[in-house]
Amino acid sequence: MQELLRTVFPSTATVNARGHLVVGGCDVVDLSMEFGTPLYVFDEQTLRERCREFLREFQARYRECQVVYACKAFANVALLRLLAEEGLGFDVVSGGELAAVRAAGVDSRLVYLHGNNKSRQELEEAVGWGVGRVVMDNFQELSMLEEVAAEARRVQEVLLRVSPGVDPHTHVHTTTGVLDSKFGFPIATGQAGEAVRLALASRHLRLVGLHFHLGSPIFETGPYREALRITLAFASRMREEGLALGEMNVGGGFAIAYTRDQKPPAVAEYAEAISEELVGQCRSLGLEPPRLTSEPGRAIVGPAGVAVYTVGARKAIPGVRTYVSVDGGMGDNIRPALYDATYEAVVANRAGQPPSERVTIAGKFCESGDILVREAHLPATQPGDLIALPAAGAYCPSMASNYNLAPRPAMVLVGGGSARLIRRRETYQDLLAADVP
Ligand SMILES: *Cc1c(COP(=O)(O)O)cnc(C)c1O
């Protein structure tokens, strides 16, 4: 347990004298009684520590930099306010996420709009509100944004998302910066160069820099270096077209530990590799060092979140395996089914007990693929026990669905021994509210 607390649980996690898991000073058993399960518990201290670590490690190594939170990892108004307090910017990929950051009252100039197929309406909403940057992903969007900005009588600052053709060695579904990807203008084909010329010729767009996002999670620093070499060499060639590289945005993808054996680089190692490569390449190419932007999503919220479920049915198939079913699953965490993601699990109401059996933790959704943890080592569980999955803050609630018309879980923010509800559990009425009978 000590090893798990150190590697995958939020930094405040402990086990109390009753043998219960405690996060942010709150006994998880008490939380489950107050708010029900499935429940997502976010640790305020871990969230703040992650923001500060990113800012500190990048700022210590590079003169001018900004950390922008990728909202798609988890967007909730209370959480966004907390991250804004810590000084992060916000990267959104849809009109819905744009509405969330607006509702959180963040400074529009710190907002980046991404997406490979932004609608005209999304562009109008973004330009109308005055977002800091729109990150251009394709040729249609370049002409559409030029029109939208002209109508709004604005000059919109933009970045171009390039695809440098670098494989970050992660799951094929989360690889985004290779040549065969729906995202970005490929450098190798000359399309990125064409996009630079078009953007520079646009009267209502001001091209301030370049962006890439390679994929996620990336457990190595090498891909960032390689992508920087390719992209900066491209920026250098584009100088004669008139490109002045004012900003270099290296995307996100910073890995976290989901299981005790995973060893992601420290934030400092990513920051070191990125800033060293950026400084070194700029020096050798004779480029003015641009402002550096990074866009962590997973690495900010992932380690802060713990999912809590209640054990129900148990099915032992002699000689095969034992299924322990819980009251959530792929509706609130689709990552195991989608990417073969792996998690640790503990019994939160008996966190001090050593494991005594190997079971498969199944969800309650009507899919055989709805398995949360294929190989969990747990003390013998009974119905009513609580199972906690750490590292569940990113891409779990944000990818949640209402499959099987399951209400999506409640979420609490914990700190200093108190818990605040930041999203209530959905009701059946919520599920049916948009139906038109
Ligand atoms: C998803 C995404 C990110 C964040 O990725 P993480 O793995 O959560 O850090 C950053 N930038 C862009 C453009 C993205 O699409």
Index of the ligand 1 atom closest to the CA of residue 135: 13
Distance 91 CA to ligand 1 centre (A): 8
Instruction: State pLDDT tens for residues 104-120.
Output: 999 999 999 999 999 99
* CA atoms 6, 11, 15, 21: torsion sign: negative
Catalytic residue status for 51: no
- The whole-number pLDDT of residue 170 equals 77
What phi-psi label fits residue 99: left (phi over 0), alpha (psi between -120 and 50 degrees) or beta? alpha
Instruction: State pLDDT tens for residues 34-91.
Output: 999 999 999 999 999 999 999 999 999 999 999 999 999 999 999 999 999 999 999 9
Q: Is 296 in the pocket of ligand 1 (CB under 6 A)?
A: yes
Say how far apart CA 11 and CA 390 lie, in whole Å: 11
Instruction: Indicate whether 347 pLDDT > 90.
Output: yes
Per DSSP, the three-state class of 185 is strand
Class in CATH terms, 114-296 = alpha beta
Task: Place 178 in a pLDDT band, splitting at 50, 70 and 90.
Answer: confident
* Every domain of the chain and the residues it spans: 2-43+302-432, 114-296
> Ligand 1, residues 114, 295, 301: which to mutate, most atoms within 8 A of Cβ?
295
Q: Which of 4-18, 159-173, 191-205, 222-236 comes out lowest in average pLDDT?
A: 159-173
Distance 407 CA to ligand 1 centre (A): 27
Instruction: State pLDDT tens for residues 375-432.
Output: 999 999 999 999 999 999 999 999 999 999 999 999 999 999 999 999 999 999 999 9
Q: Is 295 in the pocket of ligand 1 (CB under 6 A)?
A: yes
> Ligand 1, residues 68, 90, 216, 267: which to mutate, most atoms within 8 A of Cβ?
216
Per-residue pLDDT averaged across 128-144, rounded?
A: 97
Domain at 2-43+302-432, CATH from 3.40.50.970, 1.10.340.30, 3.90.950.20, 2.40.37.10: 2.40.37.10
- The whole-number pLDDT of residue 65 equals 96
Instruction: Indicate whether 171 pLDDT > 80.
Output: no
Per-residue pLDDT averaged across 274-283, rounded?
A: 98
Say how far apart CA 387 and CA 362 lie, in whole Å: 11
Q: Is 70 in the pocket of ligand 1 (CB under 6 A)?
A: yes
